[in-house]
Chains A and B, each alone.
Chain A
Amino acid sequence: MMKGMMVVITTQNISKRFNDVLALNDISLHINKGAVFGLVGTNGAGKSTFLRLLAGIYRPDSGSITIDDQPIWENNEVKRRICYISDEQYFFANATPLEVARYYNGIYPNFDLQRFSELMQGFELTGNRKINTFSKGMKKQLSVILGLSAGVDYIFCDETFDGLDPVMRHAVKSLFAADVADRGLTPIIASHNLRELEDICDHVGLLHRGGVLLEKDLDDMKLGAGKVQCVLPEGVEPSSLGLNIVIDEQRGQLHTLIARGTQEEIMAKVAAANPVFMEFLPLTLEEFFIMETEVAGYDLKKLFI
């Protein structure tokens, strides 16, 4: 995409070990400006570790991380342009949202107090109530509001959407969309909810056991494979169709094939065999990941249940 072509975040062969646990193993990723990057994987796959490394909270054992061509570690200049929303909200004891906003205002040069109070009003949160009286969801909303008011170029969200109710999620996605459109905000969103990522992300990276299984444009990914249900004439096997079949499940006469290729290619090849019945279904993000992980030799089905 037009503005999406400039690489702004690069990780090169980063690894991170905690005692004898290798949390991240040799991760290389590129993230473009204005892209909305989704990071998926199970708990323990390394998503949070990855985000903390990007935010400069952890230092990688090896490899390098650069944001706008500068290292992030101990680099306040770059850190002023990123905001990390952790999965567990932490605020100063006895602080109120307004006090936190003032604190943020001192750290982030582009912090917008006006926007902060507008968003607080919109989300119906009280600025002078103690945060420790807030519910978990409200604390999450407050973090999002702070992040959006910080005027940063990069926002890293660790399961941020997961704790929000549907109305709130829609509102937060709209706000993100507006900032992506207006000023090329680049969000990186970690989640284990694939359905949630499908509508807001354009690039997705799948982490598994500390490694990157794949990293792709979401639409290209969806268009690069498909599912066909078909009943073939007697004596014709799916393997003879000339398709690049990844998964073949058979129930009675009905074959459910997952194959690589565009819809047209797949349909044409199945149709050439004069099937008794045939139906094409695009893959969901979930099915795609299950396919890729099965190919990679992982039994990940348990992941997505």
Chain B
Amino acid sequence: MQVMVYQDVGITQREEAQMGMITIDYKDRRPLYQQLMEKIEELALGGLIKADEQLPSVRSLAVELAINPNTIQRAYGELEKKGIVYSVPGRGSFLAASQEALLSKSRDVILRDLLQLIERAKSCGIGREMFLTEAAKFYDEGNDGSDYNTKYQQAF
């Protein structure tokens, strides 16, 4: 069944590609606008949306996801406050050139995860020296092409 929702919208190919990537997880309990923000941040970090690229319009995304346009407006508004997105009156929202805000947030998340990992390492008896040595090896892994990855995979 083809319901004629889109016919007068004029969705561009670019928009269509982006919208395909912005999805909603109905099992996720967080507010929808937060989910949307996170999705767009992920796409930006992954380079799937480029600097100064236009984001899907509020209307087309609302129609595509069948959710309230106000929710999408809110997500874009919050992203703008964080400096991830900028808006041009009458034209829409665009991805900001500098993603410093995003990168610094990602770094915070990674450091927080690292903290948890260290706690776990401590609790099963991995000492400081061992942790740091192993961490250093993994950190350099990409540079010297060694095979730690295979070694550790075998262990499991």
Cα of A174 to Cα of B2 in the assembled complex, Å: 13
CB-contact partner of B66 in A1, A2, A124, A174, under 8 A: A174
- Known contacts A122-B3, A171-B3, A177-B63; A1/B74 CB under 8 A: yes
Q: With A and B bound together, what is the CA distance between A200 and B7 in angstroms?
A: 22
B66 adjacent to A181 (CB under 8 Å):
no
Q: Does B69 contact A (CB under 8 A)?
A: yes
A138 within 8 A of B: no
Q: How many Å lie between the Cα of A118 and that of B71 in the bound state?
A: 28
How far is B2's CA from A284's CA once the two chains are assembled, in angstroms? Answer: 32
B68 touches A36 (CB 8 A): yes
Known: A178-B63, A181-B62. A123 touches B29 (CB 8 A): no
Pairwise interchain contact B3-A177, C-beta atoms closer than 8 A: no
Within 8 A of B (CB), among A133-192: 167, 170-171, 173-175, 177-178, 180-182
* A178 and B29 form a contact (CB under 8 A): no
Q: Which residue of B lies closest to A167 (CB)?
A: B1
Residues of B within 8 A of A200 (CB): 66-68
Interface set, chain B 45-79, CB cutoff 8 A to A: 58-59, 62-71, 73-74, 77
Across the interface, B64 reaches (CB within 8 A) one of A36, A119, A167, A174, namely A174
Q: Which chain A positions have C-beta within 8 A of B65?
A: 177
Shortest B43–chain A CB gap in Å is 21
A173 touches B31 (CB 8 A): no
Q: Nearest chain-A residue to B27 (Cβ)? A: A284
Q: Is the CB of B29 within 8 A of A174?
A: no
B30 at the interface (CB under 8 A from A): yes
- Indicate whether B139 reaches chain A with its CB closer than 8 angstroms: no
Contacting residue for A222 out of B2, B24, B30, CB 8 A: B30
Q: Which A residues are in CB contact (< 8 Å) with B30?
A: 222, 282
Complex Cα–Cα for A198 and B24 (A): 12
B122 to chain A, nearest CB (A): 14
A97 touches B (CB below 8 Å): no
Within the complex, the shortest CB–CB distance from A268 to chain B, in Å, comes to 13
Residues on B with beta carbons closer than 8 Å to the beta carbon of A34: 70
Given contacts A122-B4, A123-B3, A282-B29, contact A173 B66 (CB under 8 A): yes
A35 to chain B, nearest CB (A): 7
Residues of chain A at interface, number, CB under 8 A: 36
- Taking the complex as formed, is A215 at the interface, i.e. its CB lies under 8 A from any CB of chain B? no
B8 to A: closest C-beta gap in Å:
9
Instruction: Verify B29–A170 contact, CB threshold 8 A.
Output: no
A122, B2: Cβ atoms closer than 8 Å: yes
B92 to chain A, nearest CB (A): 12
List A265-293 residues whose CB lies under 8 Å from chain B: 281-284
**A202 contact from B9, B66, B68, Cβ within 8 A:** B68
A1-B70 contact in complex given A174-B64, A219-B33, C-beta closer than 8 Å: yes
| CB nearest to B58 among chain A residues | A181
Q: A201 on the interface (CB 8 Å rule)?
A: yes
Report A146 CB to chain B, min CB distance, Å: 16
Contacts of A199 on B, CB cut-off 8 Å?
Answer: 24, 26, 32, 66-68
Q: Say if the beta carbon of A223 comes within 8 Å of chain B.
A: yes
In the complex, whether A70 has a CB less than 8 A from a CB of chain B is no
The answer to whether B59 and A181 have CB atoms under 8 Å apart is: yes
CB <8 Å contact, A202 and B70:
yes
**Chain A residue at smallest Cβ distance from B7:** A118
Do B68 and A177 touch across chains, with their CB atoms under 8 A apart?
A: yes
Residues of B within 8 A of A181 (CB): 58-59, 62-63, 69
Report B-chain residues with C-beta under 8 Å of the C-beta of A71: none
Q: Which residue of A lies closest to B33 (CB)?
A: A219
- Asked if A121 is at the interface (CB within 8 A of a chain B CB), the reply is yes
Closest to B5 in A: A174
Give B155 Cβ to nearest chain A Cβ, in Å. Answer: 26
Top 5 nearest A-B pairs by Cβ distance?
Answer: A173-B66, A177-B62, A181-B59, A122-B4, A181-B69
Q: A178-B62, A200-B67, A222-B31 are in contact. List 5 more A-B contacts (CB 8 A).
A: A123-B3, A124-B1, A171-B3, A181-B63, A282-B29
